[in-house]
Chain A
Amino acid sequence: MSEDLESKLREAMRPVAPRRELTDALISRLTEGRDGQEASSAAAPPVTRVTPARRLQRPVWWLPVGLAASLLLAVGIQSLHEHDQREKGLEARRQVFEALRVTNQKLDLVYRAVHDESKS
């Protein structure tokens, strides 16, 4: 029984040469596939590999942007400083006038007292 099964398996798994039609069909399919790939690669733009050296030569967008941002920041800080100085200066000017006004107001008291004394 087992010998019968074994002989059947051997019979089924023995190497058999492919038929001529199958070989022709496979060869023709492979040929068609290669032609198609070549046609599509001819239509697409060539893919260039970027080497590290070429990457350095490429224009860096962040450099002018960074410079512009730094310039803007410097101008902003300077503007703030000038505004602060202007506020301080105007406040000091106001205080000078206020101080002289108070001083003159008190000197006026003396003036009136001296004036009244000289009249009496």
Chain B
Amino acid sequence: MSRVTAFFVAALLWSVAAHAAPDARLVLPDFAGLEKKATDSVAITLDSSLLQLASGFMNSSDPKDAATQQIIKGLRGIYVRSFTFDHDFVYQASDIEAVRKQLEAPGWNRLVQTRSKKTHEDVDIYIMVENQQAIGLALISSEPRELTIVNIVGAIDLDKLRKLEGQFGVPKLDLDSASAVGGDKQH
């Protein structure tokens, strides 16, 4: 086999492997119907170029900016859809069924699931791991008057994410303990 043929075969195999590699990017539905019903909606779509641009406008000497820069350095995208309603359960479970279906695909692992019968605050956190490195995070939070879906694509350093907690007025979260509990957590 000539070197040229070997090169093309290697390139072909690499291409197939690259396409076969799991992709942590979720295809988020349009949610146009929910947007009409919502009193407040947030739609954030940040691809790698926008993340890079945003990083350039952060001040490295500012602790919050510096920590954020460290987090988004290895990311390829952040996608957020959040809807707030003025009535309880305006949305249906079927509205996010398409997203849940994608999270059943190989590669995704449920990290945490919380169910609150009292407040009806349900949160599911999924993570995609490759070579012992988180390459994607998905979060579905459903509350009576709020529905939020977060999809973070790229090398996520949970330690850095944890360090950022508290900077937005949110207390620290022990993700290691949460996953150590056994992933699914219901109450």
In the bound complex, do residue B114 and residue A110 qualify as a contact, i.e. CB atoms below 8 Å apart? Answer: yes
Stretch at the interface among A1-9, A11-19, A54-62, A97-105: A97-105
A81 within 8 A of B: no
In the bound complex, do residue B150 and residue A104 qualify as a contact, i.e. CB atoms below 8 Å apart? Answer: no
Contacts of B141 in A (CB 8 A): 106, 109
In the bound complex, do residue A101 and residue B168 qualify as a contact, i.e. CB atoms below 8 Å apart? Answer: yes
B116 within 8 A of A: yes
Closest to B141 in A: A106
Given contacts A93-B58, A96-B68, 11 further A-B pairs with CB under 8 A are: A92-B46, A92-B53, A102-B148, A102-B150, A104-B165, A106-B141, A108-B171, A110-B123, A113-B185, A114-B177, A114-B181
In the bound complex, do residue B54 and residue A96 qualify as a contact, i.e. CB atoms below 8 Å apart? Answer: yes
Mask, B51-78, CB within 8 Å of A = 1, is: 1011011100000000010011000001
Contacts of A101 in B (CB 8 A): 168, 170
Query: Which B residues fall within an 8 A CB radius of A?
Result: 42, 44, 46, 50-51, 53-54, 56-58, 68, 71-72, 78, 80, 82, 112, 114, 116, 121, 123, 125, 139, 141, 148, 150, 152, 164-165, 168, 170-175, 177-178, 181, 185, 187
Contacts of A95 in B (CB 8 A): 44, 46, 50, 54, 78
Name the distance in Å between B59's Cβ and chain A's nearest Cβ. 10
Name the distance in Å between B62's Cβ and chain A's nearest Cβ. 11
In the bound complex, what is the Cα–Cα distance between A8 and B53 (angstroms)?
Answer: 115
In the bound complex, what is the Cα–Cα distance between A101 and B169 (angstroms)?
Answer: 9
Contacts of A89 in B (CB 8 A): 53-54, 56-57
Name the distance in Å between B44's Cβ and chain A's nearest Cβ. 5
- Which of A88, A92, A114 is in CB contact (< 8 Å) with B185? A114
In the bound complex, what is the Cα–Cα distance between A93 and B65 (angstroms)?
Answer: 9
Evaluate whether A110 and B125 lie within 8 angstroms (CB atoms) in the complex, with A96-B72, A103-B139 already known: yes
Contacts of A98 in B (CB 8 A): 42, 44, 80
Evaluate whether A100 and B71 lie within 8 angstroms (CB atoms) in the complex, with A92-B53, A106-B148 already known: yes
Closest to B181 in A: A114
Name the distance in Å between B149's Cβ and chain A's nearest Cβ. 10
A35 within 8 A of B: no
Contacts of B164 in A (CB 8 A): 100, 104
In the bound complex, do residue B54 and residue A99 qualify as a contact, i.e. CB atoms below 8 Å apart? Answer: no
In the bound complex, what is the Cα–Cα distance between A90 and B114 (angstroms)?
Answer: 35
In the bound complex, do residue A108 and residue B178 qualify as a contact, i.e. CB atoms below 8 Å apart? Answer: no
Contacts of A102 in B (CB 8 A): 42, 44, 80, 82, 148, 150
